[in-house]
Structure 1
């Protein structure tokens, strides 16, 4: 397989549940970002681990030598940052080396799946809240109707004389407590 590859090509190893992206260097070596945070140059056969292999050799803004130089400049522990499946993974590293773009189609898929799950959960919760809200709103409206009926049937007339009661308002003047 490695006889088809040229330095700077992106090599993708299809593993169970994910794709491991690397940069092909020279002499059957690949430069790999590992999930323990290391960037290492390892043998192609070691990285392959009985995986199916694909590669990308489409146009890059960098020469093949520059792609390898960029990848090798990050060799060591956490020189490309802390590994994170969604935010900083194998594909982010490989595409940064070749295209100077930190992106991952796998991460986009995971974010979309995660987002859909969150929205679905919120939808269920919202549907429940709407149902509870509808019951609560019905209860509030019924209580308001009862209160309104009670108040409208109540009289503002004096009990004994039948004359209308005067409604007093508080005065802003501290010397007067109420105004007519």
Structure 2
């Protein structure tokens, strides 16, 4: 895996067609699939015009996304990125021609978007591996579960304390 970098058209570890591109946005990572000649396929909000740094964030609220083919440099903007085929040791990548065919078939189509079950990482891993996976979603689900358990524990503790106070009077 290459280190994070700002966009550079000529870099020793330039992406290969079919590679997953992890783009580091403030507070989250956006994912795209490299299709060659400087272009990526990724999901953006349905109502979006030109690419924006918070494009995946807007999709969270619309529940829909648009599949676009854009220049990698435009999608990365001032952020950093890296090639990150992190699931290659777990899932066998599909043949590159199949990955690219599937990606290009979806260009200009509207697709469902959900932060926990159908986000930009799910989208690109489905194209590369034939399986939609997202470590970001797993982390979010774990965090939600922890917060829910903690809130339940505090509520129960508050209920027990209020009952013990009522008995004293």
TM bucket (normalised to shorter chain) is: 0.7 to 0.9
1:52 and 2:80 aligned = yes
TM-score (norm 1): 0.68
Correspondence list, 1:97-112, <5 A: 97-112=127-142
Distance 1:94 1:26 in 2: 15
Match of 2:95 in 1: 63
Distance 2:140 2:67 in 1: 23
Q: Offset at 1:17?
A: 0.9
Distance 2:156 2:101 in 1: 52
Deviations 1:31-74 (A, max 9, x none): 01113310000011101111111113447331111111111222
Deviations 1:116-159 (A, max 9, x none): 111111111011122344567x68xxxxxxxxxxxxxxxxxxxx
Match of 2:61 in 1: none
Match of 1:92 in 2: 122
Say which of 65, 75, 91 aligns to 2:107.
75
1:39 and 2:71 aligned = no
**Greater gyration radius:** 1
Unaligned runs of 5+ in 2: 1-7, 47-64
TM-score (norm 2): 0.72
Runs of 4+ aligned structure 1 residues displaced above 2 Å come to 56-61, 130-136
Match of 2:34 in 1: 24
Q: Count residues with an aligned counterpart.
A: 136
Distance 1:90 1:118 in 2: 25
Distance 1:2 1:127 in 2: 57
Distance 1:62 1:101 in 2: 10
SS in 1 for 2:24: strand
- Greater relative contact order (Cα < 8 A, sep 6+): 2
Q: Offset at 1:76?
A: 2.2
CA RMSD of aligned residues (A): 2.0
